[in-house]
Amino acid sequence: MHLHPHPDTASGSQWTVVAVVAVGGAAGALLRYGASRLWRNGSDASLLWRTGGAAFPVTTLLINVVGCFLMGVLIVALKERFTGAPRLLNPMLGTGVLGGFTTFSSYTDDTRRLFENDQPGYAVANLLVTVAGCLTAVVLGVVVARLALARRRPAGAGEGGGS
């Protein structure tokens, strides 16, 4: 599979990453399943696949928006603040947990079923609100994380402003 000579990126470490992503993906998918059990709204494929429910898919929307916000936080935390953190944290939490938690396929399928159920208004709203919500959420996550995780100033330089 790998014909180029890179002894330092041996396939052994590659499969460690795959395993870590699998663990994260399992956890993320389970969290998404749990959320859709808590807030049923007829959108989840596993719940109302018989009736092909046509309610607005609020749960999928919320899952994706929350996942994107956390992705923004994670990227700042790992790439700007805790740069010495274990390298496997990014594939585990980013690719695995958040990637497994958020879902693009449910988004397209919910939208398709809204069109099929003669609710083009809901369908278009879901298309646009998800895009706007997810992109806003990732930016918000980055901004909030930068504010919250900003390095403290060096001792003696402005530490006295407590009150």
Partner 1 sequence: MEWLLVLTGGAIGAPARYLIGTAAKEHLRGPFHWGTFLANMAAALLLGFLVQAGTEDALGRTGQALLSTGFCGALSTWSTFSNEVHSMASARRIAGAAGYVFVTVALGLGLSFAGMAVAQALW
Residues that bind partner 1 in the complex, under the rule CB under 8 A: 14, 17-19, 21-30, 32-34, 36, 44-46, 49-50, 52, 64, 67-68, 70-72, 75, 91, 94-96, 98-109, 111-113, 127, 130-131, 134-135, 137-139, 142
Burial class (CB in 10 A: 0-12, 13-18, 19+), 102: buried
Q: From residue 85, how far is each of 39, 78, 125, 150 by CA, in Å?
A: 35, 7, 40, 16
Q: Which amino acid is at 44?
A: D
Smallest distance, partner 1 to C-beta of residue 84, A? 21
Separation between Cα atoms, residue 98 and residue 104, nearest integer Å:
12
**CA-based angle 34:68:80, to the nearest 5?**
125
Smallest distance, partner 1 to C-beta of residue 150, A? 18
What are 133's two structure tokens?
Answer: 């919500």
- Closest CB to partner 1 among residues 143, 159: 143
- Closest CB to partner 1 among residues 112, 153: 112
Smallest distance, partner 1 to C-beta of residue 72, A? 7
- Closest CB to partner 1 among residues 18, 159: 18
Smallest distance, partner 1 to C-beta of residue 47, A? 9
